[in-house]
Structure 1
Amino acid sequence: MAESLDLKKLSEDLKAAGTPWQMDPQTSLAQMTEDERRIRLGFVPPAGAPTLEEAVQRDVTAPRVTQEMIQAESGLGAPAAYDLRNVGGKNFTTPVKDQGGCGSCVAFGVAAVMETTLRRQRNDETLAIDLSEAHLFYCHGGEDGRTCQNGWFPDAALDKARDKGVTMESVYPYSGSQQACAVPSGWQNNIAKVTGRTELSTRSAMKDWISTRGSITGCFIVYQDFFSYRSGVYRHVSGNAAGGHCVEIVGYSDSQRCWICKNSWGTNWGEGGFFRIGYGECQIETWYGPWGANAVTLRTWQGNLKVNGLWSNRSARNAYAHFQGVGWRRVVDTSDVQHHAMLTELVGAKAGNRGVRALVDGNEIQEIYVV
């Protein structure tokens, strides 16, 4: 077993290394017991993937990423820096959460990737999207035997999000300890899904995805010094490996040679819950993944919508409605009767300036109530 956190030794080692980043013995994680810290990780690689011990050995022998290496990679398409918290003044990320005393980091990282990706693809930083990590972890992960004690894997979580979808936090809230799956009925009408996932095998591919598509997952080795990280660009300085952890990577900076990540340990850790980690550090680019969500679709009831416009042509069942703040959505086309009935109601709602409550599934309006 690795030794526990030694704050005095870490302080000495940081000074000896020229203080590459700042520690804080008062971070929420540094104040916990060793068992409490370890349970807040949650990535245990599946069969066939490098074990923690193998990842550590690779990390020991991996070359440090230099500015010359970054310069040689430049000009491949992605900008030199990108941060999804500030894209032309827009913040596409969602608030930092706390996974509590459960090894559910994968669910938090994947849910965050889905939320950011949806906001980014719609170019809407105000889009209200808060997914249920409880549904993703305790229900979907639970089907595969995953618990707070044995964690999960991001590719499996993304596949569940593709095949079954993830409901909203308001439908099924998360608690910070093991809970039975008790998602209420009707959750299928309030879900987000991914259309697929893409593994990104190079640093350039990761940058290109972040700067054009959205955030990505990142799984890495947590060494003992990471628990007391406060600010700066983290690079392993002191202590052995405590376990594996997965987070959301939301940006990068070539000048600082780092990734910008959102953690799930609350806002009293790191830079308000975020952290920067050096390129290549702790196997974050190569241990498992990273993965991006190809696209995210949303199926949810939306209320008090205003119909701004309607469009159709001579083709059968081919009509669209434009809702204020939502955009153009196709009127359901499963049958002539349903299509014509909904279109008639939408025409009446527009003429009478009446609000509409609609079940919107991706780009399709499936049900409506005119109020």
Structure 2
Amino acid sequence: MPQQAFLKGIRAYWKALEQPGEPPELGESRIDAFVDLLQLTADAEQAFRILQLPASPYVGIAVGDESRPWQLHWALQVAEVEPFIHPGLEGVIFVADTIADPEGRHRVYTIKDGMRGDLEFEDLADVLRWMGARVRYAKGDIGEEELQDVQGSASAVLDDDWEEDTTSALFILEELLDTPLFEAWDAISRGQWPLVESDGGDPPVDREDGWQRRLSLWLTRRFLATRSLELPPDIAVSDMDAVHRALVDHLIDFEQAIHGGDVPKIIEDAAAGKDPKIAKLAQRWIERHDSWRTAASVPTPDEEQAFEEEPIPFQHTPFTRKLMQALSASLDRMVEQGEIELDPDRKEALLIELVTAASDARSVKHMLKKLTTTLVDSEHVEEIYPSDDKIQERLKEDLGG
């Protein structure tokens, strides 16, 4: 019955748009078929259209561009929803959950001006029925009263247990929008940090449907609370889809900026980019950052003497501490298997050298390359027998990347 209602909704929407013949064969799953339908009919008069999101919203978030809703676009991607719009409903974004609820239904919500809207649907069949009526109303084929009748029977108030936790796409979306990621980038350019109320609690460890969006929400909350990125021990970046890997890479870049004190690569690239508005905002970010860093680094006369007499100790973060432990075990394994020769008394210095190099990496892939190069070129290592590629493979295996 649900499938029949869905197919009926497709035909009704197709007919309302006055498309020729019958709808063609669409995607195998209902959510894929729904997206295919919207893409096929996008050019029709009064058609609903998929909202095109930027390939990466992180540059806009990092430089503080308020001219576009970058954080909303980011949240839509991470929440794994399909956003779509209608030309006659300005400011309203419909979001279809790509993950079905326990009844196999793909719920549809609305976002208006960044907030949850009143119009919601229990399933794609319901929203298709309403969409067909909305198209006919926009064309003048039916009146307001008939549209409201259809809307009353097709829409629903979604307030069950599914909506109360991270099972719900809307819950994830709203929580992501509430995180101060945008504010954190501005704050760190001034040597500050926003107030964060929650550290995300315990990490999600199940691999049920939607686990990646739940994990990404937890990682974002945790990062903003601790200023460090730490994946749960049984999850590797390679387990994650591209959208969620991009978030991890972004947070790695952010963490290195926080603890390394350097201008992040995402800001440097934006400042040198072709978009003049983004470049200008990035340059302002750099100026703010350099200003407070310069002020913070000017020593008093007594401090100058202290700097001359005492070397600055290596400053650990939770990320570097965990990385050092993993690298230590990896080095021990290489020594045991005869792949490298290393004086035990120089191991700690080598570990600090490796972790320092890794702190400048832009991504996990870049980090592995930097670790390999540093290890091969280090004066603390007496002999290395495998090739650089083999060393990198070994590090990737041992570090879980």
Structure number with greater CO (CA < 8 Å, separation at least 6) is 1
Normalising by structure 2, we get a TM-score of 0.22
Bigger radius of gyration among the two = 2
Whose helix proportion is higher, 1 or 2?
Answer: 2
Greater strand share, structure number: 1
TM-score by length of 1: 0.23
